[in-house]
Amino acid sequence: MSANLDADRVRWPGSGSAVNTGSIPFGFYLSESYLSGSVGYFEYDCEKSAEWAAKRMGYPIIDIELIDVNFYAAFEESVNEYGAQVNQFNIRNNLLSLQGLSTADNPNINGKNVIGTGLPYIIQLTKGYGSEIGVGGYVDIKKAAVQLSASQQTYDLQTLIGTNIESGSRVEIRRVFHGPPPAFARIYDPFSMTGMSYSNVLNEMGFAGYSPATQFLMTPIFEDLLRGQAIEFNDLVRKSAYSFEIVNNKLKIFPIPTYDYKIYIEYVVEKDKFSAANTFSSGSNYDVVSDYSNVPYQNVTYYKLNAVGKQWVKKYFLALCKENLGMIRQKYSTIPIPGGEVTLDGSELRSEASSEKEALITQLRENLEATSRKAQMEAKADETEKMTSIMKTVPLLIYIGVLVFGFIFIFHDKPMSYLQHFI
């Protein structure tokens, strides 16, 4: 049908044909799959829904000031709204699992079951924390040697390392190493005041004539720990052991060196920490799912909608038709007629349509939330808990044991077991 447009009147003639695709504004769902011949599922339902909506609004008893393009635009919008609500829910439900997914390889994930856990993305996030504490990640920990001079206490590591080695980049010092041997290497040092010489330990234990390896077998482990702590504490108190502090990459050595020697530094370049945040994204920033805006959910496929979805579409479609008709009638709230005037119901129709649309959106969102991954797992856990409680009330079987004796008789060359029962 073509729109019935004349100078005096615009109204729905009672039927239409959506096969004329020019009456459908965008044509998102045209010819997805054909119902029969050249008529697609969407076109067929669009035409029939227009006739149904007109009758629901009073046709043919009253005129409906809408034409085919108005009905078909509202039907397409209704399908769009349904798909948008479903896609919004899916994005919220699956975003963590989809972040980092290649959009080039997955341009449309409609109808695909997302079963990912999101763990790979979470692991990528944790690597930043690993980099900060030095147990992994993407930031290289570099090393450098710093020459200390006698009588010089303070050293500018930013100049020595950042300027001279890293081309002026800001560095972050992670560890400083000094050369003295560790305490446990001096437990058996005869020159260590708190250590144990070979002769001391062997004489104390009564094994002076045995191999020094005996020490590790016969000495309690806690004694080694205590002696190691004693050596470190002795160095700190009696020998003013080496220590340092770092403020703004200025290294201060305690005590002031009395001779020239080297210390070793572990550091990271600060800009590497910030650039590492993008290392897990491949290619351009637009190649992967990054946020809500580029999750590759496309328009739904209309002919694959189930009966529940199509029923929602029809109800929302009717509300849109009422809204559109109300807008048209509200342009002129009253129409003069011979002997008086007629008041139109434009505002009532718009108010009714607004309430119906809101109720339908709320209903759809509640149904979607009820089927979310979280809600289903909670429901299953609750079901399991209640089932366990029910099964506890089921009486257990009672087993009665009877003492029997078994005899083996040999017939020919094949053994056979017999049970003789006794009461």
Task: Read off the pLDDT of residues 176-220 as tens digits, 9 standing for 90 and up.
Answer: 987 666 776 666 655 555 555 555 555 555 555 545 544 555 667
Residue 377, Cβ neighbours under 10 Å: how many? Answer: 10
Instruction: Classify residue 256: in a domain, yes or no.
Output: yes
In the prediction, which pLDDT does 403 show? Answer: 57
Weakly modelled stretches of the chain, pLDDT under 70: 1-9, 16-21, 36-37, 179-181, 184-219, 240, 276-286, 334-343, 401-423
Q: What is the pTM of this model?
A: 0.66
Euclidean distance between CA atoms 300 and 305, whole angstroms: 8
Instruction: Classify residue 106: in a domain, yes or no.
Output: no
Instruction: Classify residue 166: in a domain, yes or no.
Output: yes
Q: Which residue has the tokens 């002997």?
A: 339
In the prediction, which pLDDT does 180 show? Answer: 66
In the prediction, which pLDDT does 132 show? Answer: 81
Instruction: Classify residue 100: in a domain, yes or no.
Output: no
In the prediction, which pLDDT does 221 show? Answer: 79
In the prediction, which pLDDT does 2 show? Answer: 43
In the prediction, which pLDDT does 90 show? Answer: 95
Instruction: Classify residue 181: in a domain, yes or no.
Output: yes
Residue 233 structural domain = 132-276
Instruction: Classify residue 114: in a domain, yes or no.
Output: no
Instruction: Classify residue 102: in a domain, yes or no.
Output: no
Instruction: Classify residue 308: in a domain, yes or no.
Output: no
Q: Which residue has the tokens 């979805």?
A: 309
> What total of structural domains would you count in the chain?
1
Q: What is the dihedral of CA 113, 114, 117, 119, to 10 degrees?
A: 140
Nearest of 386, 382, 407, 373 to residue 116 by alpha carbon: 373
